[in-house]
Structure 1
Amino acid sequence: MKYTWRVAQELMRIIPPVFGSFRKALKDIEYGGYDIPKGWQVYCVSHGTHMNKEIFEKPTEFDPSRFENPSKPIPPYAYIPFGGGLHTCIGNEFARVEVLTTIHNLVTMFEWSQVFPDEIITRQPMPYPSMGLPIKIRLRKL
């Protein structure tokens, strides 16, 4: 299940379960040349770091092995599919079990294939299959 979890991690890097989150500025700050006054709401988008080539080498490629032995460590709060710090989702370990169980059952119990194998994936703003990703599913013969 270690490799299966790496596949899930890579999927959550490319398509985070939560698009982003709001944070409140606790004091006046300057960030990236912008002044952010105390009390303003700031929206942090997961995709901003998950697809950053300075953090993840070849970010548009699907590569589960990047979570096995990363060539350089992933900086804190750069990979945040479940949030981070005090705002980490309390259900993240339960979600991990659910994801692993679902993937295991899909792979071992069913044969499935895309109806349109060369379907184009667009970003609006998250990756979205242009035709809705219709698939054919058959129960495996045991």
Structure 2
Amino acid sequence: MSARGEQVEIAKSKGPDELLSWNDIQKMKYTWNVACEAMRLSPPSQGAFREVTTELIYLGVTIPKGWKAYWTVASTHKNPKYFPDPEKFDPSRFEGSGPAPYTFVPFGGGPRMCPGKEYARLEILTFIHNVVTKFKWEKVNPNEKILFNLAPTPQNGFPIHLEPLKKN
């Protein structure tokens, strides 16, 4: 099933003005896989600084205790050891138990995981549901370039035309 198909099925089960329920959100498994794959390829955060707590040797280089190290999300999200063909968009990577722990970390991991992860999931899925089921949309500029500063940014802000769908 596609993310759109999943959303259409949920919309069909609702009354004309009935809002999404938590059960509806729980049914959006494929849509969440699509969102996760999008975040894997273009993470919401690019990385973080961490303090080295114990001197270590990495690839023959000694990194002293106390130094600050910058870790990038892409170094994990695009590692072919964990994500074969890492540049390919493939939501099926998130089926079943999904990626190994600490290989997909758009919200961080362990004790530093973003406390708003589930709220972000709810917000993302609600947004996708409403855009897919209530609007027909198309890119104004299909060839718009993506700029990479701290976060991937469409060069022209990604303008789109929104047109309410006609109710059946």
* In structure 2, distance between residues paired with 1:8 and 1:23: 27
RMSD (Å) for aligned C-alpha atoms: 2.0
Tell me the distance in 2 between the aligned counterparts of 1:79 and 1:58. Answer: 15
Aligned residues: 140
Gapped regions of structure 1 (runs ≥ 5): none
- Give a deviation string over 1:50-103, Cα, whole Å, max 9, x none: 112222122112111111147xx6333111100011111111111111111111
Which of the numbers 66, 70, 78 marks the counterpart of 1:39? Answer: 66
Is 1:52–2:79 an aligned residue pair? yes
Q: Distance in 2 between matches of 1:47 and 1:5?
A: 20
Residue equivalent to 1:105 = 130
1:2 to 23, 29, 37: 29
Q: Percent identity?
A: 48
Distance 1:54 1:77 in 2: 13
SS in 2 for 1:22: strand
TM-score by length of structure 2 reads 0.74
* Alignment correspondent of 2:56: 29
Q: Which has the larger radius of gyration?
A: 2
The correspondence for 2:103, drawn from 58, 63, 78, is 78
TM-score, structure 1 normalization: 0.86
Pair 121,107 (structure 1): closer, same or farther in 2 beyond 3 Å: same
The answer as to whether partners of 2:55 and 2:64 remain within 8 angstroms in 1 is yes
2:40 to 2, 5, 13: 13
